[in-house]
Amino acid sequence: MSARRSSLVAVALALGLFYGGGTPASHAAVAPPTSTPSAKPTVSADGRAELTAVQEELARGIAKLRLPDAPAPYRAEARWVRAQLLSLDGSYGGVITNVMQAQSAGVAEVRVGTPQRDDTNFLGSDAGITRFDVPREPSPRFLRKQIWLALDRAFRGATLAFSQKQVALEQLSTETTVADLGPAAPAGEHVTLATAAPIDRDGLAAMVGSLSARFEDWPSIDNGDVHLQILESHESVLSSEGLVVTRTRARAVLAVVADTQADDGMHLDHGLAIHLTGIPAADDALLAQGEQLVDRVLRELDELQRAPMIDEEYDGPILLLGPAAAQLLASTVATEASGQPAPLSDGGRLMELEPDWQSKVGKTVLPPFLDLIDDPTRPDGFGSYAVDVEGFVPGPLTLVEAGVLRDLMLTRVPNPHHGSGSNGRARMTPALEIGPTLSNLQLRSRKRGQNPAALERELLQRAREDGYDFAYVIESLRDGTVLGPVMRPGAAAYAGTGKLTLPLPARVYRIDGSGKRTLVRGAVIAPVSMRALRRIRAVGQADHVERLRLPVGAFGGFSAEVGMDGILSQTVDVSITTPDLLIDGLELLVERGEHERLPTLSHPLRRSTVAVEVEDADEPDANE
């Protein structure tokens, strides 16, 4: 992990908004940002004075920050967030967490040298980025002082990193010619403000408690929680180049997580979420959605508990149904289509950290009948936005055309394999982390898709050609953005160089020659290279839309296990649209590992056991 990313993670942990209790989703209501001074509502007088104070300090820092025999700064940036988080957690009818937090934090970044060669994208040293304290309410004088102190610290860190990077560059046999920073967007102000809506804290807490009471109807489940989180954030980004990006937004998530053990001791968990934009109301519609979500999670976990283990390892064809197909793309394309170049270290470029598709521009990466388009301008898209955090206006982006990689997700950081400038893919989380990220991705087929029955027939036919009289269908992958890391060490599959670790299958079925489906557990997807996507053999007729919340950049994607603590603060909104996918490039392994013993004391809600114990207690002792 780079020092720059480590600093941002520290900011995320410092913010109480990243305390959580918390993915088919609710309809998104995305208000398009407007470039103003005339946006309604406007920045308050105190807010305007604060922005002016920060702009003046950034300009003063560029003009005055100097050290002997050290490069001068050429760019400075400040970004900060003020946020309010409501975190509710209900379990078995009780509300165990009901916390409203107001938090704020900021980071300042200084680049020294020139855009051609500066201190950034270098591992193993301090970087020119540092935290600063932010007042809960706008306070120009306080923030001016904080920016002054932060710029000083960031400048010193940047000069140290620059010198270390220069030493590394001098030791390399090949010259690095790609610039470190590309052209800026036109200076301007981009403001997206929304009127704050009231939060019905009591009503939502009562609803969460009511939903969690439904766990009592499932005595086979050991533990369960209903989480509702609402995050309102006011985010600002200012640069010495004249960029101002200010926005307010409200995001919410209703999630259900539960866990239990199978008879062989295997620990099992399951979790799903409804993603919402805006402030949800504690109304009948949300209650009905929540009831369906609770019942689905508990029913599916109960089925998984009773399911048999996978019999043997399998490397035949696999059918990924809509949710799993979307999650696969979110685990692969979301990170490997990034244009962020590999970082430099003392030993040269860390090519193992370079996203796989960077060197594949102009080459075949998908079958010739498939296209991949990312479009942040879709008015109904869950991941839509009108301007990125660097001030660029994005447009539709054809990543893959007829199977050939045409473009990458680019920010201002130039890419050695792709000469064009930013295409507006720099997105920022409420935790102030920035990276190239998807918005609304769609996989389109140039040939007619097959109906479910035809796909299943082709699946079994291809399996027979590979020597199997059965095949597997994956319905969904385990959602680490809700559940966090896997608790079973035996479930880990370690990827080697050039390969990706994919999430565990959450719902996987073994299908035999007669078409009978059997839910199984204990399957692990083997580490896979991006070449596997070239072995998509067929697609379904209907599109499925999956709304997700993903971390940004090369460390993001659906494989990131942020859990409920970071589901709102450390992610951005993304939608994936795809048909079912029949693919030959995946391999299922059998999970191997020891499991914990089952509890000695039975679960108190398992009524049959409790009833027997009470009945036995009432019987007279034969010796009396």
Q: How far is CA 150 from each of CA 79, 131, 347, 395, rounded to the nearest angstrom? A: 11, 7, 31, 35
pLDDT at 434 over 80: yes
Q: What average pLDDT does the segment 333-348 reach?
A: 88
Report the candidate in 358, 383, 372, 380 with the shortest Cα–Cα distance to residue 440: 383
Q: Which amino acid is at 94?
A: G
In degrees rounded to 5, what are phi and psi of residue 529?
-95, 165
Q: What is the pLDDT of residue 492?
A: 73
pLDDT at 4 over 60: no
Q: Quick: pLDDT tens for 215-242.
A: 999 999 999 999 999 999 999 999 999 9
Q: Which amino acid is at 587?
A: E
Q: Quick: pLDDT tens for 121-167.
A: 887 655 799 999 999 999 999 999 999 999 999 999 999 999 989 88
Considering only 380-394, 404-418, 488-502, 609-623, which range has the smallest mean pLDDT?
609-623
pLDDT at 10 over 60: no
pLDDT at 258 over 50: yes
Half-sphere exposure for 589 (CA within 13 Å, toward CB): 17
Report the candidate in 487, 481, 504 with the shortest Cα–Cα distance to residue 565: 481
Q: What is the pLDDT of residue 342?
A: 86
Which stretches does DSSP call E strand in 402-504?
404-405, 426-428, 434-436, 440-445, 470-477
Identify the sign of the CA torsion 14, 16, 22, 26.
negative
Q: What is the pLDDT of residue 89?
A: 98
Count of CB atoms within 10 A of residue 60's CB?
16
Helix (H) or strand (E) holding 9: helix 3-14
Q: Quick: pLDDT tens for 67-112.
A: 999 999 999 999 999 999 999 999 999 999 999 999 999 999 999 9
Report the candidate in 522, 478, 538, 533 with the shortest Cα–Cα distance to residue 500: 533
Considering only 159-173, 295-309, 507-521, 526-540, which range has the smallest mean pLDDT?
159-173
Task: Identify the band that residue 542 occupies on the pLDDT scale cut at 50, 70 and 90.
Answer: very high
Q: What is the pLDDT of residue 34?
A: 38
Q: How far is CA 622 from each of CA 106, 159, 564, 619, rounded to the nearest angstrom? A: 74, 87, 54, 9
**Helical H segments across 272-356, by residue range:** 284-306, 322-336
Q: Which residue do the tokens 């193992």 mark?
A: 352
pLDDT at 181 over 50: yes
Task: Identify the band that residue 496 occupies on the pLDDT scale cut at 50, 70 and 90.
Answer: low
Q: What is the pLDDT of residue 9?
A: 42
Q: What average pLDDT does the segment 295-308 reach?
A: 98
**In this structure, what token pair is assigned to residue 130?**
């540092």
Q: Which amino acid is at 114?
A: T
Q: What is the pLDDT of residue 301?
A: 98
Q: What is the pLDDT of residue 37?
A: 38
Kindly list the domain boundaries of the chain, sorted by start residue.
Answer: 3-302, 318-590
pLDDT at 618 over 70: no
Higher pLDDT, 20 or 135: 135
Q: Residues near 616 by Cβ (< 8 Å), separated by ≥ 6?
A: none
pLDDT at 553 over 60: yes
Topology, domain 3-302: PmbA/TldD fold (3.30.2290)
Q: Which amino acid is at 372?
A: L
pLDDT at 465 over 50: yes
Q: What is the pLDDT of residue 18?
A: 40
Q: Which residue do the tokens 């934090």 mark?
A: 105
Q: Residues near 446 by Cβ (< 8 Å), separated by ≥ 6?
A: 368, 369, 370, 371, 402
pTM value is: 0.90
Considering only 202-206, 307-311, 341-345, which range has the smallest mean pLDDT?
341-345
pLDDT at 12 over 80: no
**In this structure, what token pair is assigned to residue 37?**
């001074």
**Do residues 344 and 336 touch, judged by C-beta distance below 8 A?**
no
Q: What whole-number distance in Å separates Cα of residue 570 and Cα of residue 273?
A: 16
Q: What is the pLDDT of residue 201?
A: 98
